[in-house]
Chains A and B, each alone.
Chain A
């Protein structure tokens, strides 16, 4: 069935997804819906490729998460599948393409894994078996009867609507994350405190603005060269009536002795409790540790990723070095190598507390949250 027009530069992978061999199926959307879906996926992919420039992505992580989930809901509704196993294959295939388009945007992969877990849960619920049956544990090793081969092949009529309902719940949760985090601000920020932050994080901005409604405190923002997003953050905070100071990254250590708390956002939370955050964060964390200043990370749950900080090839992202050394400095450029890395790794020992939309956690608890959100077999898409 080659009804869909091939978008230019499209890999042949598009066709196999449609010819999943399920021709004898009941759900048969017309060719018009198929092309519409393919177009949406392609548009999303090219958006991803362009979007995350690293100079502050053109879209925030929350929007990426929402768009990914909405797209997955559309795929569930419109693609052809008869059993949970087929749907999971389709989502995995599309998921792999999406994560390959922009590997540093981990929220895409996280949302895909959440949806896969939802599908597993709904399937288990329809079958009547408990969801615990899937978790690997020593207990399960001892008590299980046969080698359980879950291949998700049983078709259920209500599975589609259940999955879509669960995805809708997930979307509602995503919409409320920033507010949920901001609601906890008053417990952590007290009057006359000096708070330090780095760069621009929408979550931290909302967090501080919420506390500012009732408390008076002072914020020091490290500008985070070379993108200098700190300037935008400082402007927004001062518009909300908070006393703000901007400092250069080099001054972080010097000023740290006067700071009560450090509150930062992050791009990703890794499986061992470490962070992948904007460059300069590791320096900030080390300075805070040296002065025994608590480091608080405001990160919503969709940023939690099952990766460990050792797969070097997907780790670092470099952007054009013209931010560091403009191309006009021609003479130097021929003699020197210039790099502009975007992210930093912060080890879990330097972090005091994670504040997420479900509450506050210690970094050593991250493994537990991971097992609740994702299934171990989905760690590798």
Chain B
């Protein structure tokens, strides 16, 4: 288990990799080294490994990656009875799966960049690698656009995004989180990433996304979400309180804090009624199409 944690840290050193991908890669390594004799034992050890991983990084993405991997194991184990052959097939398919999802960001960028017009003003929230990839592709297609990024406290991730965009020669302005309403009248469209996409078609993302979605609805601006398909989770929150506490706070906070109600949550939930379209590697989806995809996978 300690190996897994060190592996995860290693993966994290590659800043471009999504946390869910790092989690799945770690679990795959764990699978390769597992010495168990039964499928049930394998599942149990994988479950405890996933719990460990969420203990290190409590984001929704890691949890969804872990669940997806478990599902992958159960689907594969149904096909082969013999454990060693089963494991070999799992390892092969696992590598293949990782290969495919590493291309998912490119697929999303290909779908989304056509929605960015010449002269568009885009508003985005905090730092998202998928949004960055989309904007890279649009810039590569010689489109001229400018970007407003929110600062996104408490970790000022927005500054990081602005740096990356300046390197692409895209005119970028960092605005206060509180200035979203102020800036929206100048903006043509809003694009955000997601840490998790829930069953209702809503998203879980950095705190401040819900506010941005509400304001864009009020201003009638399209609100687009870009996310890879492995971020789909089996949650169905009805309001902000419904999101489990283990996702709302960082892992360290969860361990040390005495009274959670005094801590600031780092994510919020945006309901599907505020989202115009979701761009995923499975295609351009309306929020109602998301639950269909989840059902196809899990049932």
Contact = CB atoms under 8 A, between A and B. Distances in A.
A126 to B, nearest CB: 26
Interface string A291-310: 00000000000000000101
Nearest to A272: B286
Contacts of A10: none
Interface string A357-370: 00000001111100
A312 B117 contact: yes
A367 B288 contact: yes
A133 to B, nearest CB: 13
B244 interface: no
B258 interface: no
A142 B114 CA distance: 29
B292 interface: yes
Nearest to A311: B114
Contacts of A310: 114-115, 117
A142 B229 contact: no
B296 A143 contact: no
Contact of A368 (B75, B281, B289): B289
A214 interface: no
Contact of A145 (B71, B93, B281): B93
B184 interface: no
Interface string B284-295: 111011001110
Interface residues of A, number: 24
A147 B286 contact: no
Interface in B60-101: 68, 71-72, 75-76, 93, 96-97, 100-101
Nearest to B288: A364
A142 B94 CA distance: 8
Given A143-B75, A364-B286, A368-B289, A138 B93 contact: no
Interface string B229-261: 110100000000000000000000000000000
Contact of B297 (A139, A308, A364): A139
B179 interface: no
Interface string B91-121: 0010011001100000000000011010000
A365 B287 CA distance: 10
A123 B246 CA distance: 49
Contact of B293 (A138, A147, A365): A138
A138 B232 contact: yes
Contacts of B75: 139, 142-143
B232 A136 contact: no
A142 B71 contact: yes
Interface string A108-143: 000000000000000000000000000011110111
A137 B297 contact: yes
A142 B95 CA distance: 11
Contact of A138 (B115, B229, B277, B289): B229
A125 B72 CA distance: 28
Contacts of A273: 286
A146 B97 CA distance: 10
Given A312-B117, A376-B283, A138 B288 contact: no
Given A364-B286, A364-B288, 18 more contacts: A136-B281, A137-B293, A137-B296, A138-B68, A138-B282, A138-B297, A139-B75, A139-B296, A142-B297, A143-B72, A143-B76, A146-B96, A147-B100, A271-B284, A272-B286, A308-B284, A310-B117, A365-B288
26 contacts: A137-B296, A138-B68, A138-B229, A138-B296, A139-B75, A139-B296, A141-B100, A141-B101, A141-B229, A142-B71, A142-B97, A143-B75, A143-B93, A144-B96, A146-B96, A147-B96, A147-B100, A272-B286, A308-B115, A310-B114, A312-B117, A366-B286, A367-B285, A367-B286, A367-B292, A376-B283
